[in-house]
Each structure stands twice: as structure tokens, then as C-alpha cells.
Structure 1
Amino acid sequence: MLITSRGRRIGGRAVLGVVSTLVLGATGFAWSQLHRLDANLVTADVIAPTAQVPDAPAGEPLTVAQNILLVGLDSRTGPDGKPLPQNVLDALHAGSGDDGGNTTDTMIVVHVPAGGAAATAISIPRDSYVDIPGYGKHKINSAYSRARADQRGKLAQQGMSGPQLEVAADAAGAKSAIAAVQQLTGLAINHYAAVNLAGFAALSQAVGGVQVCLKAPVHDTFSGADFPAGVQTISGTQALAFVRQRHGLPNSDLDRIARQQAFMSAMAKTVLGSGTFTDPSRLSSLVDALEGSIVLDQGWNLLSFAQQLHGLSSGAIAFGTIPVQSLSLATPSDGDAVKVDPAQVKAFVQTQLSSPDVAASGGTADPGTGTARPPSSGGKVRPIAETTNPTPPAGTPGQPKMTAASGCVN
């Protein structure tokens, strides 16, 4: 059995869902709520034994640095394998499966160092042209869909059907995405979280909306984004449109990554400063949304993990994006893609995780085995408002970057 259900589930965004969970664990909130959350999550068997990490004793700080792959799936089905209702898809401006179904719309590696008092989130553009183990060079967001489609076909020929077929295919896709990210970054992925389109609205509404800031007004019929310039509070389908828009933005997916990072940081601040943990109704709604949104790897004891993050605060989460060389690389069969240099990416990742400005180095991996090496120590993580990104080569688009003073993005 590739996936197990420990409760009901709908869908959501990994970015918001897991950051919510990290924030919940960091604040020492009512543990009865976390026990309820842990008992009702959905898990999938997708992490290789060589990359699994043991649970630390209850109440003790995180003893081993860990790397979490957060995946936002552009899927038109729920985690239970059942199609999402058409009225839900219409409200989300999801389009059809031809518009990107079953690809990884969002890919972020979150490194949590030993001690658990900080986190570094590194975004990977979904169109990065990379080697996908078993499939050759393609856009990294297709690692999931290619393996999923292959496994689905094989299992269907063996007689499997319905939701069971879909969730088994999803697990194969997850393993492929993990392998591609490990090969590109050199990091062993110890945990995995993936969600789809539908639950994001519930999560953003549960926290009472999130404040964001746009440099200029936007109107995009593809994502449904229609916002004025300046500071505004968004939730529900508006929040989904905000993090999904890429058409009409100067740097396309890079600007969308900046949106996602801005939303993550604002969401963490919102949860920590809005009285969520003293408002029983809001807290219950948030836990309900998390229960129905996240699919985790089978070996992840979320309650134990959250208990090890007592020192984590919103200001201890740093964000970055891997370096890119071009946004218009012509490919033989995948159209224009994002050109990246794997050696440069690995060097950037190690610099981010081991520099004096970052808390600790991650468990780097042999891409062939995924075996983690011991973590090393370092300094403090830069706060959210000082998000850093690599400087691109001359002649290429600038990397997205939050404005330190205002936090406004394109």
C-alpha cells in the first residue's frame, strides 16, 4: 500500500500548509490541537530508507539537520484520487489538465538545521531544464508527471483502477520529483509534503487572510489575479491567484517565486501576531484546514518534529532562489525552459546553508544514493525582510527579490 489515510482530506498548498505547521510547533500552542492534527494527516511511502532520519526524544531540540521538499501540485484531483468538482476548479481558475495538470507547480526545499531554531527555504523554478533520473533532460516540473503517467499505465494494465490507482501513481510521481531535486541540489531529501490547488483557499481563510504588497496593479485572466497596487489583505481564491500568476509579470516564473516567498513570510508573521493561538475558533479552523490539506511522507512524525522547533520564529526563516542563466533556453521537445548549471546550483545551495549568515549546513547527499552526510554548524539566518537571491550573469533577467523596506513584489 503506497499511501495511507489517517483521516479526511481535501487539498491545499504545501508552501502554506507546512509553514503553518512549523509556526504552530514553534509557538508552543495547545498540544491537544497538534495531537488532533497528527492523528488525521495523510501519508505516502516516498522517502528512501537511506534518507530517513530517526525521531529525537520528545521535548529535545532537533538533533539532525533535515531537508524538506515542499511540492504544490497543479492537479485536478484530490489527494484521495477523486476528481475535484468542476465548480471548485472554475472558482480556482484551474483550467483543464492540459494547462498543467499533475506537474509540480511549486518546488521549494526547506532546510532546518540541528537545533530547529531557523529555516532556509530555497525555491526551484518549475521550468528548470535538468537531468531527471530515468527520463533524460526535461523541465523539472515534469519529473512528477512523467513517472506518474508511467506507473499509472502499468498499474492499470494489472487491473488497478479508481482512486487507488491515482494515489499509487501519485506516489511514483513523488519519488521521481524527489530524485530530480536531489540530483540538482546535492541535498538528501528527508521529508516530503505535497498538496494540490483546492485546499489553499481554506488555509489562507483559516488564518484570517494574509497581508501582501504589490508594486503595480495586475489583471491576469489565466490565474484570476486582479489586484490594485499597494498593501492589501487576501485570502481564499484571491490568495491562490496571487501565488499562481506568472503571465504578465516581467520575469514570469521568477516573479511568481517572489510572490510565493512573500506570501510565506507574511503568512508566518500573520499566524504569530494575529492572536491565532488565543482564538479557539481560528485555531480550530486552521488545524481543520491543515488536516484536510497536507500529504506527508510516511515516516514523518509531525508532532515530534513540531516539538523540536520551539526556537523557530518568523524572523528566522530565510528565502532564496537557485541561480539561473537564462529564462528562454530552447529545448528539443519541451519548448523554452529555464537554463541552470547544476554545479552552480550545488555551490549556491551549500553557500546558503553553510555561510556564517545561516544557521547550519544541511545533510548533503550523494545524488546516486541519497545518503546524508553529517551537518555542520554556522551562524544565524537572515530575517525574512532580507531575502537573498543569487546575482544572475550579465544579460539575464534579475532574480526576484523582496524589497527590504516595503516587502512589495511585482
Structure 2
Amino acid sequence: MLMPAPRRRRRCPRLRRVLVVVTVCLMVPVLLSLGFALYLQHRLTSQIDRIDGVFAAGPGERPERASGAAADAVNILLLGTDGPSAQWKRGAQRSDAIMILHIDADRRGASVVSIPRDSWVTIPGHGPAKINAAFSYGGPALAVRTIENVTDLRIDHLAVVDWSGFRELTDALGGVTLDVPETVHDSYRDITWTAGRHTMNGDEALDYVGQRAGLPGGDFDRIHRQQHFLSTLLDETLTQELVREPRHAYRILDILTTNLSVDSDWSVGQMRSLLLSLRHLRSAGIGYLTVPVKGTGMEGSQSVVHLDRSGGEELWSAVRDDAVAEWLAANPDSRTPAIVD
């Protein structure tokens, strides 16, 4: 006896249409968000100036890469200038701030080591001079080569920041509040900073961190001000609700990228991966210090800073070994004093 074939259940056309509509409604915002994210990434990264030929030294002319557990650490040379580095011309610019950002291999900590711009060093091909003259003589490439010669530390990447970007960022954050430890007068700008807390706008903040005349410690006090300003700016950027509001976050990124130049070897993918790996890093995990110095002196008519070669070798060895925290524990006086809440 033949059994009747089972009847196929007909899908409801209406249900199918509903499923299609729901799927489309769910996919459209996802695709739009993805498209916007890709557009945003392209727009922001396209604003970053690229510097060619930064690591021009030949094989064997550069320090060796770190090995072992320290191999994943990253060293970035940070230079602050008063103009776009992509427009560098011989003799037109000197690096106003020189720092090495060391990012720990585990990405849980970082250190910012400042080098006084008046440090008396040997600049390859030019002889003894102030270290900030390297940028003027030969641009970013010579600046990197000079730093590597002085520190015997391999620089992985270069980032040059136009100081005007900090002015815009400070204003975008509504100002920064800094503690002025003692009343000082800036005779160059004819500004008196009274002791106490000051909420500064962008112009005021740059005037404050740029002061040298009238500071008891001269350029060393200036370095401390720069470090405290950067630390406070980072705190404000990370803790304010601005970073959770897309419109304001875009504004911050827009300011940073339009005032930033990096080596052309640093790809967008590498930058993105590095930023993602730092998602657990907090401002409290960043230490600020200054390279050991012997003191100041004169070279001809120039007032210069003489570096402590022995102390410096110990510090740079600690950086190479990814052991800056241990070095700081043994040399607490090298840490920048905390004068900013």
C-alpha cells in the first residue's frame, strides 16, 4: 500500500519578508558603523604627516634590538617643535623638547625620559654641539641618529609634535589646572605666576611650560613643567567624559593627528595595534624622569648641560633591559617631583 508523500510545510511569505526586513535593519547600522569607522580611521591617519628616511643609517650603524623578555618593549623618540616637522628646513627649527617614551613589554607601564635640550653631545658629522641642534642641522634623521649614539638605545619610532597642538587640545578640554609651587616672574614674556593652583587655557599653558627666564633651576625646572603639563593633560583626556562622547573624542583625535608627524615606517596597522595593546595602561603607570646630569657649564659663549655619562649608561641599560621601574626604585631622585595633583 502506497503511503501519501508528506506535505511540505509552506513558509509564510509574510514571515519571510519580516525576517528579511529585520535582518536588513540589523545589518544597516552595523555596516554604516563599520563604514564610518573605516572612514574615520582613513581621515585621521591621512592627517598625520609622514617623514621619510628617518632610519637612514646602514646595517651595523645602529644599536642592536633588545632580545629576550625585553624584545616586545617599544622606544619612541618624542620631539616637540614650534612648527610642522614635514616642513623642516636646515637651520629653521630646533627641537624644543626631547623625550624618549619607553613602553614596557607587558604594556602595563611606561616611562618618559627627558633629555635637556642644551645637553652637550657629539652630533655625527658636526662634532660637539647642543643636542637640539641635531634637528636643525639634519632634520629628524640626524636627531634620531644622535639620540641613538648618545644612548646606545635603538629607537623604534619617531613622533614629532607641533606645540600648537597642545594649545588646541588644552582649550578643547576646557583648560588644565596646574599647581605653581612658588611665585616666579617670566621677564621674557613679562608674566608673573603666583604660587597656587591655576586653571590655564592653551596660550597660558604653553607660556607656562615654555618659561626659562626667572626659574631657579633653569631648563631643569622647565623640563619638570613640561612633564607635569603632559601628565595632567593625559589625566584630563583619559578621565573626562569627553573620551566616551564620540563627537568630542573625534575632536581630540583630530587635534592630535593634525599636529603630529611620524616616521614613514610606522604603519597605520602598527599604530592601531600598539594603541589597542595599551588599553589597560593608566596615567598612574607612567613614570617621568630626567637623564642623569653632572651639572651646567660653558662651552665658548654657550651655556650647556653636561650629562653624567656613568649614570646615563646605567639608565639606558635599564631601558634596554625593560627594567626602568627597578632603576627608578634605586634612583628615586631621578623621578620628576610630584607638584601637580
TM range (shorter): 0.7 to 0.9
1:338 paired to 2:277: no
Aligned residues: 293
Q: 1:181 to 1:215 in 2, by over 3 A?
A: same
Distance 1:40 1:224 in 2: 36
Matched to 1:331, the amino acid is E
- 2:102/2:319 contact within 8 Å kept: no
Distance 1:268 1:191 in 2: 20
Once the two structures are TM-superposed, the CA of residue 31 in structure 1 deviates from its matched residue by 6.4
Superposed, 1:20-59 pairs within 5 Å as: 36-45=43-52, 46-48=54-56
Once the two structures are TM-superposed, the CA of residue 274 in structure 1 deviates from its matched residue by 1.2
Alignment match, 1:365 = none
Alignment match, 2:137 = 146
Return 5+ residue gaps in structure 1 as ranges. Answer: 1-29, 55-61, 84-96, 148-172, 359-378, 391-399
Q: Under a length normalisation based on structure 1, what TM-score does the superposition of the two structures give?
A: 0.64
Once the two structures are TM-superposed, the CA of residue 342 in structure 1 deviates from its matched residue by 3.1
1:315 paired to 2:270: no
Alignment match, 2:87 = 81
Alignment match, 1:263 = 229
1:293 paired to 2:259: yes
Once the two structures are TM-superposed, the CA of residue 270 in structure 1 deviates from its matched residue by 0.9
- 1:130/1:138 contact within 8 Å kept: yes
- 1:213/1:230 contact within 8 Å kept: yes
Q: 1:52 to 1:310 in 2, by over 3 A?
A: farther
Matched to 1:260, the amino acid is Q
Q: 1:264 to 1:235 in 2, by over 3 A?
A: same
Once the two structures are TM-superposed, the CA of residue 343 in structure 1 deviates from its matched residue by 3.8
Alignment match, 1:68 = 76
Superposed, 1:4-403 pairs within 5 Å as: 36-45=43-52, 46-48=54-56, 64-75=72-83, 78-79=84-85, 81=87, 102-147=93-138, 173-223=139-189, 225-301=191-267, 302-327=271-296, 329-332=297-300, 335-351=302-318, 354=321, 358=325, 388-390=332-334, 401-403=336-338
- 1:212/1:263 contact within 8 Å kept: yes
Q: 1:185 to 1:52 in 2, by over 3 A?
A: closer
Return the structure number with greater strand share: 2
Which structure: larger Rg? 2
Q: 1:309 to 1:105 in 2, by over 3 A?
A: same
Distance 1:37 1:285 in 2: 10
SS in 2 for 1:122: strand
Once the two structures are TM-superposed, the CA of residue 37 in structure 1 deviates from its matched residue by 2.5
Distance 1:141 1:325 in 2: 18
Q: 1:101 to 1:189 in 2, by over 3 A?
A: same
Once the two structures are TM-superposed, the CA of residue 127 in structure 1 deviates from its matched residue by 0.3
Distance 2:144 2:80 in 1: 13
- 1:53/1:190 contact within 8 Å kept: no
Distance 1:349 1:263 in 2: 24
SS in 1 for 2:87: coil
SS in 1 for 2:72: coil
Q: 1:304 to 1:272 in 2, by over 3 A?
A: same
- 1:201/1:240 contact within 8 Å kept: yes
Matched to 1:258, the amino acid is H
Matched to 2:94, the amino acid is T
Once the two structures are TM-superposed, the CA of residue 67 in structure 1 deviates from its matched residue by 0.7
- 2:48/2:262 contact within 8 Å kept: yes
Distance 2:141 2:224 in 1: 26
- Higher RCO structure (Cα 8 Å, ≥6 apart): 1
Matched to 1:307, the amino acid is L
Once the two structures are TM-superposed, the CA of residue 235 in structure 1 deviates from its matched residue by 2.6
Once the two structures are TM-superposed, the CA of residue 407 in structure 1 deviates from its matched residue by 2.9
Q: 1:240 to 1:188 in 2, by over 3 A?
A: same
Distance 1:353 1:295 in 2: 25
Q: 1:122 to 1:388 in 2, by over 3 A?
A: farther
What percent identity do the matched residue pairs reach? 30
- 1:319/1:388 contact within 8 Å kept: no
Distance 1:64 1:263 in 2: 28
Distance 1:81 1:355 in 2: 34
Q: 1:198 to 1:323 in 2, by over 3 A?
A: same
Residue by residue over 1:189-230, the C-alpha shift from the partner in whole angstroms, topping out at 9 and shown as x without a partner, is 111011334332112222332221111123314256543321
Return the structure number with greater helix share: 2
Matched to 1:44, the amino acid is I
Q: 1:325 to 1:357 in 2, by over 3 A?
A: closer
